[in-house]
């Protein structure tokens, strides 16, 4: 009888080609390819929001309102409401 870790290790071992796992010594290390994409997007959007807040919307109410309306419209398209 296997515990939860035993079952997950078997699945990780069988799917090691898809998950791109590498075995070092006595443990399995897995790399999630999609996580790298999300980390890159996170860095991009943090830099973009920093730029927008410092240079475009700093003290100008018109730009801030336009930004809020644009984000609302983008959210409508993304979530298809």
pLDDT of residue 72: 92
DSSP secondary-structure letter at 4? H
Q: Minimal CA–CA distance to 68: which of 79, 40, 56, 80? A: 56
* H/E stretch holding 23: strand 22-24
Other beta carbons within 10 angstroms of residue 43's beta carbon come to: 10
Quick one: average pLDDT of 43-69? 84
Q: What is the pLDDT of residues 24-54, one digit of tens each?
A: 565 656 667 788 888 899 999 999 888 887 8
pLDDT of residue 22: 64
**Residue 20 to residues 6, 7, 27, 28, 49: CA-CA distances in angstroms?**
19, 18, 14, 10, 33
pLDDT of residue 1: 55
**8 A C-beta contact, residue 59 and residue 69:** no
pTM for this model (two decimals): 0.42
């Amino acid at each position: 009888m296997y515990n939860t870790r035993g079952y997950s290790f078997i699945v990780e071992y069988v799917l090691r080609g898809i998950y791109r796992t590498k075995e070092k010594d006595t443990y399995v290390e897995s790399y999630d390819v999609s996580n790298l994409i999300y980390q890159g997007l996170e860095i991009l959007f943090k830099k973009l929001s920093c730029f927008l807040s410092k240079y475009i919307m700093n003290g100008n109410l018109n730009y801030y309102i336009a930004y809020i309306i644009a984000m609302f419209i983008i959210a409508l398209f993304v979530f298809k409401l």
